A and B are shown apart, each in its own frame.
Chain A
């Protein structure tokens, strides 16, 4: 009940002036409030944003009524850690939010991590890429649900070499994210028996034309050109690689951080042949098709769910199961206890199938290496991927011991 309805109710029945208050309190005590903190207005809007909110609401709907109310609130963090932190504080301190979901952008994702731990609430991060959430900065109140840079570089790096891509050239965004992604991928490429023949770093932000870097990659004659960048940079790289005929001349393009929404934005004509990794695709099996239909019907017609959105769905559903299991009062009082309960329960949902959550807060499920279809192979809307390789859940993510998470020592 918000303030306006409260005032209306109070005005309507002067006799029961004190009753709505107790009613509201009783209701708030029996309500779980989920905050979707996301990017509604910036570069990550399509890989999170409105579709994340829709996916979270779909999970609430699929969970059904089990003796307590569930509310979903949404806010835009504008990709600014300060904004993210202040929204999170307001939600947790004043607005009775119990769990924060989604949070793209690693800088914001890490900042919110600290706030949630301080307030002992729950944090289900689906869309930040940083592997630190289950490493140096792991928290007993946090689960990192969907993907991270380690998983991406391992899947794309090692599986590509197995699929025949022996020599690599990197086009890397010149900042910490790009350097890490390149270094991690290089390790896996070498480990799988491949070699790295060169790399070029492009300024970030501020690069719109990648043709110079692409012809350097072309001149290197590497079999695989790895794109260690993200978002618009990746899209521009792929678009211009098509223009300069990299793929037509036999080189493979590997996007180290590509979502299906990026492929949609590029169009198959341009993106065909691109190789990338996700942990969810709508057309994997009957269950993923069914959950996608529900999410799309709930308001994601223009922007179908990627793995990040599926992560919001799956995390919310599992969270609500844990709440039902331990009781609303206990769940609201202790965020860490809910996270512990979530770790103790095996996960199962339509998006990721069966899975589990590790002590460091890492959700485990398989990683899929996809190749983007040619326009002629695509039979329906968003029919973009064909499956190349599957990395099983137990190998897909960084081993527990290597993360150095304080919770596991």
Chain B
């Protein structure tokens, strides 16, 4: 058996694969953040709470309406996205003209309120949510035992990332959006309803968070603080990728997942810190992020 720096090769391959899987979550979450920041210039600190809501809506659908995982994958993003639309219409839309800080404070506060309400209603120790039977089980890859569900997560996350990127970069709607970010007044003058477009963009970003939440429900504890645990890392991913850069956040998400996975083998104690070390280095050398425009 070959060793790399004293680590058996099978273990290393396993960790690389796991890193990729975690990277899929980072990519999916940071994608939503990047879309919202890129188009609306709002740093959406409610993202973690919306991710959590996605998982809770999946649980509610299952336990009150008997709708399983596949329905949840479709409905939860729509429901939470609609909630996002309401939030944007009633509150966030008023802050576009102000400093970033106001949007940050508002979304942070709303996130805390949502988390508190959910905790009051459902307690803190979490709710059970099972892996759908079609995706349970595992493959024996020889070097590791690979749960089918994790493979599914990577696949779905990749598809969602590519689809979002295509919509924004290659479609007419996407070009309107990008134009509206550059010069909203001009785009409005051409007869495009810019405020509505902003609202829907926010809704779509939120829906992506909820989608990730449903994907996470079977493997992470479904509890009120599940989003806040993940969201700080995701923010670091967005900063490293370059605020607002779609492609940047996707590539960085997967890349950092792998970096983190390797750290977990060589020096596990630092695995939560390594992403922030990378962030510090990137900010020192390229303040706009790896893929950002200065």
A residues neighboring B (CB under 8 Å): 39, 41-47, 49, 174, 200-203, 205-209, 211-213, 215-216, 218-219, 231-232, 235-236, 239-240, 243-245, 249, 259, 261-262, 264-267, 269-270, 302-303
* Chain B 1-28 per-residue mask, 1 if CB under 8 angstroms from chain A, else 0: 0000000101100110011011000000
Q: Which stretch from B84-92, B124-132, B161-169, B246-254 is at the chain A interface?
A: B124-132
Q: Is the CB of B18 within 8 A of A212?
A: yes
* Chain B 104-135 per-residue mask, 1 if CB under 8 angstroms from chain A, else 0: 00000000000010011001111110110000
Task: Count residues of chain B with CB under 8 A from any CB of chain A.
Answer: 46
Nearest B residue (CB) for A232: B221
25 contacts between A and B (CB under 8 A): A39-B124, A45-B125, A46-B124, A203-B272, A203-B273, A206-B229, A206-B272, A209-B18, A211-B21, A211-B150, A215-B14, A218-B145, A232-B221, A232-B223, A232-B225, A235-B126, A236-B221, A239-B219, A239-B221, A243-B131, A243-B218, A262-B126, A265-B221, A267-B128, A303-B123
Contacts known (A44-B124, A235-B221, A302-B123); A215 close to B229, Cβ less than 8 A: no
Q: Is B269 an interface residue (CB 8 A)?
A: yes
Nearest B residue (CB) for A246: B145
Tell me which residues across on chain B come within 8 A of A206, comparing CB atoms: 229, 232-233, 272
Q: Is the CB of A236 within 8 A of B220?
A: yes
Q: Is the CB of B223 within 8 A of A244?
A: no
CA distance A390 to B204 in the complex (A): 55
Give the distance to chain B from A181, nearest Cβ to Cβ, in Å: 16
Q: Is the CB of A243 within 8 A of B123?
A: no
Tell me which residues across on chain A come within 8 A of B229, comparing CB atoms: 205-206, 208, 232
Give the distance to chain B from A173, nearest Cβ to Cβ, in Å: 11
Tell me which residues across on chain A come within 8 A of B19, comparing CB atoms: 212
Q: Is B95 an interface residue (CB 8 A)?
A: no
Q: Is B197 an interface residue (CB 8 A)?
A: no
Q: Is the CB of B128 within 8 A of A270?
A: yes
B residues neighboring A (CB under 8 Å): 8, 10-11, 14-15, 18-19, 21-22, 116, 119-120, 123-128, 130-131, 138, 144-145, 147, 149-150, 218-221, 223, 225-226, 229-230, 232-233, 261, 264-265, 268-273
Tell me which residues across on chain B come within 8 A of A302, comparing CB atoms: 123
CA distance A207 to B123 in the complex (A): 21
Interface residue from A207, A208, A261 paired with B125 (Cβ < 8 Å): A261
Closest 5 CB pairs of A and B: A267-B128, A203-B272, A212-B264, A265-B126, A206-B272
